[in-house]
Structure 1
Amino acid sequence: MNAPQSLPAAAGCPIDHSALKTPTGCPVSQQAAQFDPFGDGYQQDPAEYLRWARAQEPVFYSPRLGYWVVTRYDDVKAVFRDHETFNATVALEKITPTVPEADAVLKSYDYAMKRTLVNEEEPAHMARRRVLIEPFTPEALKEHEPMVRRVTRQYVDRFIDDGHADLVEQMLWEAPLTVGLHFLGVDEEDMEQLRRYSIAHTVNTWGRPSPEEQIAVAHAVGNFWQLSGRIVDKMRATPDGPGWMRYTIRMQKEHPDVVTDSYLHSMMMAVIVAAHETTSHGIANALKLLLSNRAVWQELCDDPSLIPGAVEECLRHNGSVAAWRRLSTRDAVVGGVPIPAGSRLLIVMASANRDERHFADPDALDIRRDNASDQLTFGYGSHQCMGKNLARMELQIFLEEFTKRLPHMQLAPQRFEYLPNTSFRGPKHLRVEWNPALNPERANPALLQSREPVRLGEPSRQAIARTLVVERITRAAEGVLLLRLAATDGKPLPRWAPGAHIDIECGNADLSRQYSLCGRPDDATAYEIAVLRDAASRGGSAWVHEQLAVGQRVRVRGPRNHFRLDEQGRRAMFIAGGIGITPIAAMARRARELGMDYALHYCGRSRGHMALLQKLAAEHGERMQVHASNEGRRADLPALLAQPGADTLIYACGPARMLQALQQATAHWPEGALRVEHFEAEPTTLDPSREQAFEVELRDSGITLAVRADQTVLAALQGANIDVQCDCREGLCGSCEVGVLAGEIDHRDRVLTPAERARQDRMMACCSRAKDGGRLVLDL
C-alpha cells in the first residue's frame, strides 16, 4: 500500500501537512502515512496489520484518517479510563462526512438521533447507566438463558441434515438479532427490515460509502429511525410487558429528567445495532478462529467446560469490535506522545488485545489463558459495554450447540471478506461442511438434553488449568528440586518471557502455589521450575518434595508475568537471594542475549544451597558475583548501591528481609529503579473479630456491594459475577489488581511499591481492604 502520491512530501515527512486542517503529529512516518483501516490488511487482521506500530510507533497520527491511532494495551486502557480527558462524543461520528444530498434524505425522515450510552458525556451518561443497567446484571440475565437456547436450537435444526451451510447467512446474522429483539421486548415481525437497516447504520457511521451509496444508506437509516419510533410507541401501550425497552419506559416515569422521549427513541435504534451486530460478528469470528485451529476445536468438543474460557480467548484474539473512538478535551500525553486538545483518537482494541506486554504469546490461541478476560473488546471504564454478559451468554450457548451437534464440522474452502469499516468486523460469509451421517445425535438422541452451565463472570480455575506431566526431577541444590513439566500430548506450550511464573495445583484445586519459570523461553516443549523445601511449608513445597514423582500429572495455570525485564533498558543489575534466583536466572540470560550491560549478584547461605549455580557461572562468568554467607561474603547492599547507576534498573527476588534491605539501600535512587518479585507471603485468613465490614461501590457497574468482616473484596466481587482475575489469593502475584477512584485503602499486598501505595489508586482485591471500615469506590 503506497502513501497518497498527490501530496508533496514535506522535509523529512511523506505528507504535506500544510494541506491538513487537523493536528498533524509531524513528522509522520512512512508507515503512519500508509495506514488505511479500510484496506484488506486491516480488515483481515487488525492486530497483525498494526504489529509494526506496537513495536515501533505505538501512538501515531494518520493523515489519511485524521485521527491519532493508539495500539498498545496500557495506552488503550488509559484512554478508556480517563473519560474526562478523552470523551466519547465522537464514538458515533461518521468517519466519512455525509454529502449534502444524503443529509437531505435523512432530514426527510425527520431523523434526529440523539446521544446515547455509547457517546454521551458525564454526568449524563453515568446517571442514565445506573438507572438502566439492572436488566443487564448476571442475575437478571439468567431468565433469558432458556430463550437463547431455544433460538439457537431452532436455527441449527434448519440445516443440521444438509451437510453444508453459510453460517452467517443462515444463522449468525439472524439468531443474535432474534435474541436481541426478545431481550428488548420487540416482536419478531420486523426482523428482516431491521437486519437491512442495521447494516446500513454500520456503513453510515463507520464505513467509507461513496456519494451514491450514501444516498441509499441514508434512506435505509431513515427507515430504521422511523421503524424504531413505531416500535417504541407500541411498547408505551404495554409498559408492564417484558423486555429492556419497557423497563426503560417504566424508568422514564420514575426519572423523567434522565430518560427523555427523544432518548428512548435513540436508544431503541442504538441498542438494536449494539445487541445484534457485535454478537453476530463475535460468534462468526470465534467459529472461524476455532475451526482454523482444529486441535483446539476438538478440545472443546471433548470438554465443553472449557467453552467459557474459549469465549474470552476468542474475544481477545479475534473480537468483533476492532476499534473505538475518543476526542481529547485538553492537551494530553498518551504513551509518551503529546496529543493536542481537540484531537480525535482511534483506539484499536484488536491491537491492544495482542500486545505481548500484557498477554504472553499473544498470537497463540490459548483457551486456558488465565488473563484472557483482560481483553478490551467490550471496552473499559465508564463506557464498558453494558451488554457484555448477554453477549457472553450467547457465545457460550452457540459454541455449546455447535460443538455438541456438529463436532465434525469443517471450514469449506473460501476467501473471507469483510464489510470495510474501522470498528466492527466479522466475515460476510462463513461456509462450513460436514457429513450428516456422522451427526452424533443420530446415534444418541439423548445428547440434545445435555446442558452446560453458563458462566457470566470469570471462567472457573479448573477450566483454565492445563494438565502437564512431570518429565524429570533432579536435585538442584540442598533442599531444592528442579522439575521439568511437559505437555501430555507433546504439543508446544504457550511461550513466556523472563520473569513469568506458573500456578501449580498442589494435590487439589484449593491448594495452589506460584513458581517462577527458570528454563529457557525458547523451549516450548516443557516448563522448568525450582522448588525449595520450606520447613514452614503450608502444603505447597512439602507436597512437591514428598509426593510428586516422575510420570505424575499436575494441573498448571499460566504463565503470567508481573516482573518483566525492560528489554529497551541500557543497564541492569540482578540481585537474587536463595530460591529467588529462579526468575532472575531467566532474566540475566536474556540480558546476555540482548548484549545488555548487566551484573548478577547471587546471595545464599552456602554454595551447596544455591540452585543452578554451576550453570549460571558458566553462562555469566565474571558478570556474576557469588555472596555465600558461610564464606564471609555477604552482600554489602548499601555499598553496592551507594551510587545510583545512570539508566540502571535493579531486578531483585528473594526473602522479605533482603527486599526490605534493598528498599532502604535504594531510597536515594530514582523512583521505579528497583523492581522486585516476592516469593513468600503471610496467610490471608481473616479474623472477623479484628476486621470491619465495609462497602465497595463499582462506579462503572452502578452497583454497591457489602464486604463482610470475614470476606475479601475479591470474594464479594466474584460473588456478584464481576470479572476479576485472581491467582494466588495471597497478595503476592498481582493478578487481582483493581483501580480505586475514592476511599482510603488498607494495603496488605506484597506487590505494590511504597510510592504506588501512597497514590491510593489501586489495590489487590484478594487481601487489601478499606481502612477503618470506610467506603471504597472501584473502577469496575
Structure 2
Amino acid sequence: MSDATATPPSGGCPFHAAPPAAGACPAGAPEAVSAQAAAFDPFSDAYQQDPPEYVRWAREQEPVFYSPRLGYWVVARYDDIKAVFRDNLTFSPAIALEKITPTGPEANAVLASYGYAMNRTLVNEDEPAHMPRRRALMEPFTPEALQHHEPMVRQLVRDYVDRFIDDGRADLVDQLLWEVPLTVALHFLGVPEEDMDTLRRYSIAHTVNTWGRPRSEEQVAVAHAVGNFWQLAGRILDKMRQDPDAPGWMQYGIRKQRELPDVVTDSYLHSMMMAGIVAAHETTANAAANAIKLLLQHPDAWRELCADPGLIPNAVEECLRHNGSVAAWRRVVTRDTVVGGVPLAAGAKLLIVTSSANHDPAHFEDADLFDIRRDNAVDHLTFGYGSHQCMGKNLARMELQVILQELTRRLPHLRLPAQRFTYVPNTSFRGPEHLWVEWDPAANPERARPALRDAQAPVRVGEPVRHAAGRAMVVESVAAAAQGVLRLRLRPADGRALPRWSPGAHIDVDCGGTGLSRQYSLCGDPSDPGVLEIAVLKEEAGRGGSRWLHENVRAGARLTIRGPRNHFRFDEGCRRAVLVAGGIGITPISAMARRARELGIDYALHYSGRARASMALLDELAALHGERLHVYAGDEGQRADFAALLAGASADTQVYACGPARMLEALQDCCAALPGDALRIEHFHGTGGTDPAADAPFTVELKDSGLVLEVPAGQTLLATLRRANIDVASDCEEGLCGSCEVRVLSGQVEHRDVVLTRAEREANGRMMACCSRARTGQRIVLEL
C-alpha cells in the first residue's frame, strides 16, 4: 500500500516497500546505466499510481533498459513486448511466479513447516509440458462453456447492489468488487463456500510474497498466510476428489486426471487450486475497480455508457488497455538474443511492462486518450499474448460487462468524491484498495420504475465486435475538392475532442442503411483535434459506398465512423522521403507531406492524375510545398518517370506510395534495387479474396493451440479459425487493413493482401487470414 496508515478491512498488516538491498550485479548487466534507469523503482508510489506514465521516458528514449534496483531488464514498447510473448522458448515464463524479492531463512523455514511446495502452473510452465496441460484443461474456458455462468453472475451483482443502493455512499471495493469476483471464481472452480475475508487476506499475501517487496519483519507474517493458503487449497482439493462429477473447473481437472494421469498430476492440481483462486478473482476484482474509477473520472464516457449499453463491451477493452489490473509480467532469457536492438545474455531476467505497451503511440493512435470507441482497444496486452495468454480472459470480460451494465442502469448518477487511492506495492498487479462513490438515493431510477432492477441486457462472451464502437459525427461541410471528388469535414456530434491521428491513418465510414462500410484515408491537419477530413472519389463502377456518400451526404448530416487507425504509418525519423500519389491516393500522401514539412525532412511529392481538373487538393498542396511538389497531369502530356526520379536515391531513402494498381506495380519495379522495406504502399482495393474455382484446400497447424485444421476451398483461413473458436481480430476482410495479421512459422504463403511490403512477403513470416492462403500442396504452421 502506498499509504502507510491504511489497513485492509479484512485485517492483517499492510505490506510496505523496503529500500533495495545492495548486491552484486547479475551476469550480463551493463557496466553503466542512465540516471532514469538507476532510479526506476516499481515499488514506488509513482509506479503504483500510474505505471504507463512512470515509464513514459522509457517508451520515448530507452525502451529496453537495465534496472540495478531490481536486477531485471525492463521492456516498455508494444512491439518488443509482443515479440517476447510470441517466443516462449527464448523467453521462458519460468520466473513468472518466482519471488521478486528473495525471503530470508526464517520466512523460508515457515513456508517449509507448512509443506509449501508450489509447483509449475499454466502461468510459469515451459514446453513441452505446458501445451498438453493447457489443451487438456481449456474446454471450460470456451465462450460456449462460459455462457451459462452469466445468469449467476448477474444475480450475484444485483444482490450485492441491493445491499447498498439506498445508502448514497459505498466503498465499491469492499461492498461489491472484491466479493463478487471471488464468489464467481469459487463457483467457476467448483470450490465450496469459504470465508471471504480469510481468502482475501491469503490472496493479498500471495501477491506480496510473489511480486512485492515486504520488509524483513513482515516476511514471516506473509509466509504464515501463504502457508495456510497452501494447506487450505489442499483440503479443498481433497473435498473435491470425493465428488469428482460435480460442476467446476477443478473437478473437470480431476476427471481429466483419470484420462491423462501423466499430464494432470496430483502436485499440478494442488498448485492450480491455489493459483486458480488468486488468478480467477484478484485480477478481475482489480480490473473492475480500475474500470469504474476511470469511467467516473471521465463522466462524459460514463454518461455515454448509461445512454447506450451497447458500448460497454468495447469500453471494457479500453479500460483494460488504459488502466488494466496487470501492469507487468516476467520472463527469463534462455539463450543470447536481442530485444529492441539491445543484446541480452542467457539468464537475463525481464520485466515486461504490458501497461506501458498499452500506451505505446506506435500501436494506439493518441494512446493516452481514454476513448471507449477506440476500435483497436482489444489489441491490449493486459491478458498477455500467445501460448500463455490468460485462459480466463472471457470470464473476466463477462464479469466486467455485467458489473458495468448493472451499475450504469441502476446508479447512472454515481459520482467520484475526492479521495486518495492506495495500492499494494508490487510489480505486476494493481487496483485501488478502496473506491468510494456517492449518489443521491432519492434519484435512483428504479424508485420510479421498479422493473428496472430486473431488466436484461445481452452480454458478449469473447472479443467485442469492432462495428459496435462507432462514433457519431456531424458533417460540417461538403465541398468539391476536384472533378468527381468531395471533401468532407467531420466533427464529433458530442462536441468533444477526437483522438489524435498520424499521417497514413484512415477511418471506416458507415454508408447509411446500405450495410456498406468503407475505409477513407485522412487528409486534413493531424494537429486539429476537433475535425477529421476525407476526400471521396465517386466510383461509378464501385460497390456503392462512394456513390452513396456523393448522392446523400450534405452539411449537417450525421455519419457513423470508426477509428482512426493506421497501417500505413509514416516514419518520422526518416532522413529522406519520396512521396508518390496517383489520383485519390493523394489523401494519405498529403498528410505525410505536411508532416515531413513540419519536421524538416528532405522530401519530394510526386502527384499523378489523368487530368488536372480531377486532381484533388492541388491548390492547397502547391501553397504548402512549392517546388517540392511535382504534378503530372495526363491531359497535359505529363507522366512521372519513376526510374529517373529514383535513379539517384540513397540507401536511406523511404518511398511512400498510394494510387492505382498499375502505378504501384511500375513503382515496385523501379524500387527493386532499394532495400526491401524502402517502398511502403497503400492500395485502393483488396485483391478479391477467395476464388472457389481456383483455390485448393490446405492444412494449417496452430502451434500454440495444438490444433490441426483443414481449410476447404472457398473458405478463408479466417473463417476456419473462427469455427475452431480461435479469436483473430478482423475488419475489412479484403486484405486492405492488416487487422487479421497472423504470424507464420513455416510453410509458403500465397499472399493476396495489399498490406505487406515486398520484403515482408519474401520473409514469409506473416500473412493476412482474411484472404491469403497456403501455396498449393503446402502445410502452414501459425503462431496461434
Shorter-chain TM-score: what band?
over 0.9
Matched residue type, 2:765 = D
1:30-179 to 2 correspondences below 5 Å: 30-179=35-184
CA displacement at 1:630 relative to structure 2: 2.5
Gaps of 5+ in 1: 1-14
Matched, 1:530 2:535: yes
Partner of 2:733: 729
CA displacement at 1:742 relative to structure 2: 3.7
CA distance in 1, matches of 2:336, 2:715: 43
Q: 281, 297, 302: which one pairs with 1:297?
A: 302
Give 3-state SS (helix, strand or coil) of 2:478's partner: strand
Identity %: 69
Q: 564, 572, 578: which one pairs with 2:569?
A: 564
Deviations 1:725-747 (A, max 9, x none): 22221111111112223444332
Q: 1:722 to 1:397 in 2, by over 3 A?
A: farther
Matched residue type, 1:261 = D
Q: 1:302 to 1:246 in 2, by over 3 A?
A: same
CA distance in 2, matches of 1:687, 1:598: 41
CA displacement at 1:633 relative to structure 2: 2.4
Partner of 1:713: 717
Partner of 2:435: 430
Deviations 1:157-194 (A, max 9, x none): 11111111111111211110110000000011343322
CA distance in 2, matches of 1:366, 1:220: 40
CA displacement at 1:771 relative to structure 2: 3.2
CA displacement at 1:702 relative to structure 2: 4.6
Output the TM-score relative to the length of structure 1: 0.95
Matched, 1:587 2:592: yes
Partner of 1:3: none
CA displacement at 1:467 relative to structure 2: 1.3
Partner of 1:613: 618
Q: 468, 473, 477: which one pairs with 1:468?
A: 473
CA distance in 1, matches of 2:698, 2:149: 33
Deviates more, 1:621-630 or 1:450-459: 450-459
Partner of 1:9: none
1:622-637 to 2 correspondences below 5 Å: 622-637=627-642
CA distance in 1, matches of 2:419, 2:315: 24
Q: 397, 402, 406: which one pairs with 1:392?
A: 397
Matched residue type, 2:567 = H
Matched residue type, 2:205 = A
CA displacement at 1:693 relative to structure 2: 4.3
Partner of 2:326: 321
Deviates more, 1:279-288 or 1:764-773: 764-773
Give 3-state SS (helix, strand or coil) of 1:672's partner: coil
CA distance in 2, matches of 1:137, 1:741: 25
Partner of 1:508: 513
Partner of 1:748: 752
CA distance in 2, matches of 1:554, 1:722: 32
Partner of 1:519: 524
Partner of 1:656: 661
Partner of 2:410: 405
Q: 1:190 to 1:776 in 2, by over 3 A?
A: farther
Matched residue type, 1:779 = E
Matched residue type, 1:573 = V
Deviations 1:185-235 (A, max 9, x none): 001134332221111000000000001110000000000000000011111
Q: 1:266 to 1:57 in 2, by over 3 A?
A: same
Give 3-state SS (helix, strand or coil) of 1:188's partner: coil
CA distance in 1, matches of 2:281, 2:741: 32
CA distance in 2, matches of 1:182, 1:409: 29
Matched, 1:207 2:212: yes
Give 3-state SS (helix, strand or coil) of 2:534's partner: strand
CA distance in 2, matches of 1:189, 1:530: 62
CA distance in 2, matches of 1:466, 1:488: 8
Deviations 1:500-544 (A, max 9, x none): 000111223731111100000111111100111123211111112
Deviates more, 1:198-207 or 1:637-646: 637-646
Output the TM-score relative to the length of structure 2: 0.95
Deviates more, 1:361-370 or 1:602-611: 602-611
CA displacement at 1:58 relative to structure 2: 0.6
CA displacement at 1:33 relative to structure 2: 0.7
CA displacement at 1:717 relative to structure 2: 3.5
CA displacement at 1:376 relative to structure 2: 0.2
Partner of 1:278: 283
CA distance in 1, matches of 2:750, 2:240: 49
CA distance in 1, matches of 2:722, 2:562: 19
Matched residue type, 2:585 = G
CA displacement at 1:442 relative to structure 2: 1.3
CA displacement at 1:568 relative to structure 2: 1.3
Count, aligned residues: 765
CA distance in 2, matches of 1:647, 1:694: 40
8 Å CA contact retained: 1:25, 1:60: no
CA distance in 2, matches of 1:673, 1:236: 62
Q: 1:19 to 1:363 in 2, by over 3 A?
A: same
Matched residue type, 2:405 = E
Q: 1:280 to 1:701 in 2, by over 3 A?
A: farther
Q: 341, 352, 358: which one pairs with 1:353?
A: 358
CA distance in 2, matches of 1:687, 1:749: 14
CA distance in 2, matches of 1:262, 1:485: 60
8 Å CA contact retained: 2:333, 2:346: yes
8 Å CA contact retained: 2:651, 2:674: no
Deviations 1:35-84 (A, max 9, x none): 11011111111101111111110111111111100000000000111111
Q: 168, 193, 199: which one pairs with 2:198?
A: 193
Deviations 1:281-301 (A, max 9, x none): 000000000010000000000
Matched, 1:757 2:766: no
CA displacement at 1:437 relative to structure 2: 1.1
CA distance in 2, matches of 1:366, 1:493: 9
Q: 1:709 to 1:458 in 2, by over 3 A?
A: farther
Partner of 2:486: 481
Partner of 1:288: 293
CA distance in 2, matches of 1:154, 1:78: 43
Deviations 1:324-354 (A, max 9, x none): 0000011111111111111000000000000
